[in-house]
Amino acid sequence: MKINTHEIFKTINHEHIGKDLKEILISECKDGRWFVENNWCDKDFENFEGISNPHILPYVTPKFFSNENEVVDFAVKILSAVISDFTYDYGE
């Protein structure tokens, strides 16, 4: 069973970031919070503290961020640890 975080946290927007077929999701909640999710159940992202893994039970609530810049920085840090040549264009 996979937890529906979009419903639980009332997400209003999201963006997939990554490289090739390895990506994670940054989600914006209706209340202004942001979080990072391992939405494709990729084992490479399961052990990072603070990331949402809705396919793992019991479900652990992710770390929330107060703005998009903070959540993107966190996501880039995770992606860079998994993908050695990962870069992110903050201007997009």
pLDDT digits (tens, 9 = 90+) for 8-32: 999 999 999 999 999 999 999 999 9
The Cα 7–Cα 27 span in angstroms is 12
Q: What are phi and psi of 43, to 5 degrees?
A: -60, -30
The secondary element (H helix, E strand) that includes residue 29 is: strand 22-29
**Selection from 90, 91, 88, 92 nearest residue 24 by Cα:** 88
How many alpha carbons fall within 13 Å on the CB side of residue 24?
Answer: 32
Confidence of residue 1 (pLDDT cuts 50, 70, 90): confident
